[in-house]
Amino acid sequence: MIEINLTKKLRSTGGSMLLDLELKIKKGEFVSLYGVSGAGKTCTLRVLSGLLTPDKGRIVVNGTTWFDAGKKINLSPQQRKIGYVFQDYALFPNMTVRQNLEFALQKGQSKSIVDNLVAIVELGDFLNRKPSTLSGGQQQRVALARALVQRPEILILDEPLSALDHKMRSKLQEYILKVHNAFNLTTILVSHNIGEIVKLSNHIYELHNGRVVREGKALDFFNAERNSAKFRFTGEVIHIEKEEVIYVVSVLVGNSVVKVVTDREEALALTLGDQVFVASKAFNPILERI
Amino acid sequence: MDWQPLVLTFKLAFVTTIILLVIAVPIANWLSSTHSKMKPVVETLVSMPLVLPPTVLGFYMLVAFSPANFFGNWLNEWLGIRLIFSFEGLVVASIIYSLPFMVQPLQAGLASISPTLKEAAYTMGKSKRTTLFRILLPNIKSSILTGIVLTFAHTVGEFGVVLMIGGNMPGKTKVASIAIYDEVEALNYAAANNYSMILFAITFAILLLVYLINGGYLKRYSR
């Protein structure tokens, strides 16, 4: 159980903001933090991992106090032992993949965990390569494996897949789920991608201006006011076009484009890049073998 | 030709560079990561030798190290060190004089490393010291090389400070730049030219090597 109850004044790009958090994350859960840029998602991860010190409040993890402003307790990032996958991966450029992984070993820890992780994320072919010679997806796998070498109980993923293409994304989502289950992790993911959040997490917190404005179970969360639909996909609005009296909105679902007819009001409410659901209820979708 | 001034010059440059490397790493590391209000003050002090006339620096060190004054007297009585008109004095003066040439490249190099590298090491339970030696320094090799070479070359070229604090004692403080000045004063142009040519050639060779290494030219050929 991770209990976070704290405040921290932040200076962000749009002036100052108060991070005011109250979170309770159960052991073994896969939690996502969702929200617009600058809502305080990354800061939440940094506060939990000890890279950022709150002004007031407490952080208690599995009964151990990590931070308590009143009692002046503040464990260093070193003592917190969190597996942290950074957005830029933070692989050490001077080391090979194997050296990157072995650097994360704790004193006296057996090297067998490295081989184990290498097998899980299928890195065997790249062990002697430097990070700069790897593709984005390969670097991502190294970062994920490296974060797990010290056997943390908590895994933090800061927009880990944002730089990858769709195919790589879904492959890596599977790796993430695999390690989450294999190592009994409590995982906290920051993501903008609704599809990814729904696919991976049990519980979602939406942050806005440093506060949790909404929370809920993954599927209910993005579907709060709607009835259950027959089929439903998430996608991104990539084009809006006016044709006579109607509007045609092109939505990128996975790697195919779906055109949806909408009326004027609906179309004007959308902007390019919006994440939307494409759903149908009244009609049965047609399946055709290809 | 008397080789002593050249040997002394390179001995001084070598000792100064080694000591400065040890001193400058913690200073640069602190400067590149601190948010302290003292930072601009420390940065200014470190950079002062860049703009201050060497004679000013040399003059104050001469005053400070003189056994007639408190500090010089204390050094002399308690540690038995006399820093004026001695090789040790030249080393101390050179360290202060060349400090910015070592600190600034290291600081710039450390500041250019993504902070997440450091943070990643911390979250893996690695101490600040381990992170510095295994992650930060190995990733700024070219900055370290630049610092070493600039310090070395700058110490070789030192004149004003050496003259003020060391004087012109053969075998002790008479370095090549002083020897050149000495020979010119004695209208002995041939000897001055010998020293000058050697300094010119060596300095050129050292700097060329740095640009070859930092520019990656040597790696390209070794592949």
Preferred mutation among A49, A78, A87 to probe B, highest tally of B CBs within 10 A: A78
Q: Calculate mean pLDDT across residues A103-123.
A: 91
Instruction: Please check whether the domain covering A231-280 is classified as CATH 2.60.40.3140.
Output: no
Residue-wise pLDDT tens digits, B7-26: 999 999 999 999 999 999 99
Q: What is the mean pLDDT of chain B?
A: 90
Q: How confident is the model at residue A16 (pLDDT cuts 50, 70, 90)?
A: confident
Choice between B211 and A74, residue whose per-residue pLDDT is larger:
A74
- How do strand A231-243 and strand A246-253 relate by DSSP bridges? antiparallel
User: Which range scores top for mean pLDDT: A237-241, B71-75, B139-143?
Assistant: B139-143
Q: Calculate mean pLDDT across residues B123-150.
A: 94
pLDDT at A285 over 80: no
For residues A67 and A75, give the distance between their C-alpha atoms in angstroms, rounded to a whole number: 6
Three-class SS state of B35? coil
| pLDDT at residue number B118 | 95
Query: DSSP state, B139?
Result: G
Bin B56: left if φ > 0, else alpha if -120 < ψ < 50, else beta: alpha
Partner-chain residue, chosen from A77, A86, A146, that has the shortest CB–CB distance to B116: A86
Preferred mutation among A74, A79, A86, A133 to probe B, highest tally of B CBs within 10 A: A86
**Yes or no, beta carbons of B123 and A94 under 8 Å apart:** no
* Lowest-pLDDT range of A153-162, A248-257, B48-57: A248-257
pLDDT at A13 over 80: no
* Lowest-pLDDT range of A102-106, A278-282, B101-105: A278-282
Q: Calculate mean pLDDT across residues A45-50.
A: 94
> What's the fold here for domain A2-221?
Rossmann fold (3.40.50)
Give yes or no for a contact between A120 and A145, defined as CB atoms under 8 angstroms apart: yes
Sheet holding A83-85, edge to edge: A83-85, A154-158, A186-190, A30-34, A203-208, A211-217
Gap from B113 CA to chain A (nearest CA, Å) = 10
**Yes or no, beta carbons of A94 and B138 under 8 Å apart:** yes
Partner-chain residue, chosen from B116, B120, B125, that has the shortest CB–CB distance to A106: B125
pLDDT at B223 over 50: no
Q: Calculate mean pLDDT across residues A144-148.
A: 94
Interface check for A66 against chain B (CB to CB < 8 A): the answer is no
**Yes or no, beta carbons of B125 and A83 under 8 Å apart:** no
Q: Calculate mean pLDDT across residues B128-153.
A: 94
Q: What is the 3-state secondary structure (H, E, C) of chain A?
A: CEEEEEEEEEEECCEEEEEEEEEEECCCCEEEEECCCCCCHHHHHHHHHCCCCCCEEEEEECCEEEEECCCCEECCHHHHCCEEECCCCCCCCCCCHHHHHHHCCCCCCCCHHHHHHHHHCCCHHHCCCCHHHCCHHHHHHHHHHHHHCCCCCEEEEECCCCCCCHHHHHHHHHHHHHHHHHCCCEEEEECCCHHHHHHHCCEEEEEECCEEEEEEEHHHHCCCCCCCCCEEEEEEEEEEEEECCEEEEEEEECCEEEEEEECHHHHHHCCCCCEEEEEECCCCCCCCCC
pLDDT at A60 over 90: yes
Partner-chain residue, chosen from A51, A92, A147, that has the shortest CB–CB distance to B119: A51
- Residues forming CATH 2.40.50.100 domain(s) in chain A: 231-280
| pLDDT at residue number B220 | 63
Calculate what percentage of chain B has a pLDDT beyond 90. 59
List beta partners, residue A15: A12
Interface check for B223 against chain A (CB to CB < 8 A): the answer is no
- Residues forming CATH 3.40.50.300 domain(s) in chain A: 2-221
pLDDT at A284 over 70: no
Partner-chain residue, chosen from B114, B123, B135, that has the shortest CB–CB distance to A84: B123
CB-CB neighbors (< 8 A) of B119 in chain A: 51, 77, 84, 86, 90
For residues B219 and B223, give the distance between their C-alpha atoms in angstroms, rounded to a whole number: 6
Q: Calculate mean pLDDT across residues A24-51.
A: 91
Q: What does CATH list as the number for B4-34+48-222?
A: 1.10.3720.10
User: Tokens standing for B151?
Assistant: 């310090």
User: Which range scores top for mean pLDDT: A95-99, A227-231, A260-264?
Assistant: A95-99
For residues B219 and B207, give the distance between their C-alpha atoms in angstroms, rounded to a whole number: 17
Q: Calculate mean pLDDT across residues A196-204.
A: 88
Interface check for A174 against chain B (CB to CB < 8 A): the answer is no
List beta partners, residue A262: A247
For chain B, the structural domain boundaries read 4-34+48-222
In this prediction the pTM is: 0.81
Three-class SS state of B69? coil
Phi then psi dihedrals of residue B130, to 5 deg: -60, -40
Q: How confident is the model at residue A83 (pLDDT cuts 50, 70, 90)?
A: very high
pLDDT at A198 over 80: yes
Calculate what percentage of chain A has a pLDDT beyond 70. 92
CB-CB neighbors (< 8 A) of A146 in chain B: 120, 124
**Yes or no, beta carbons of A78 and B125 under 8 Å apart:** yes
Phi then psi dihedrals of residue A242, to 5 deg: -90, 130
**Yes or no, beta carbons of A103 and B126 under 8 Å apart:** yes
CB-CB neighbors (< 8 A) of A83 in chain B: 123
> What are the DSSP E strand ranges found in B28-74?
none
Give, in degrees to the nearest 5, the angle at Cα B120 between B114 and B124.
Answer: 160
pLDDT at B64 over 50: yes
Q: Calculate mean pLDDT across residues B105-126.
A: 95
